[in-house]
Amino acid sequence: MILVAGLVLLALGLLCGAALVLAPLGVLPAGAGLTMWILFPAFTIGGYLLAAAQADDARVPLLSRISGGLLLALALAAAVVLVMQGGSIIELAASSTSLWYVLALGLVLGATGVASHRKLGGV
């Protein structure tokens, strides 16, 4: 049950991150409020920790790589939107602050997840 709860929270955290990327584009009918800003890292980290605590030892690296890859994808999406906005290719409907937030957190947490659990020197 804890594994399922962790995966649901992780998915909700990633959904909050996606909302933070889509909101400045005007895709969402309303902007992403403070709740999304808080729940993006809280649910992502908390959900990962819950899921990893209950996952088999063999599946924790897979969980880390998948969640890290999804976070990196969110960060890259934010980077693409920022570059397109900076080059006047698109005009944002709202401030780009949430894009910078997702870019920073997504890069740090995503790179950590992808790089973790590597075998070093055949160990």
Q: Give 2: exposed, middle or buried? Use CB within 10 Å, 0-12, 13-18, 19+.
A: exposed
pTM: 0.90
**Residue with tokens 């920790």, as numbered in its chain:** 49
Cα gap 50→54, rounded to integer Å = 7
Half-sphere exposure of 117 (CA within 13 A, CB side): 14
Tens-binned pLDDT, residue by residue, of the chain (123 aa) = 899 999 999 999 999 999 999 999 988 877 778 999 999 999 999 999 999 999 888 899 999 999 999 999 999 999 999 999 999 999 888 889 999 999 999 999 999 999 987 765 554
- Domains of the chain, residue spans: 2-115
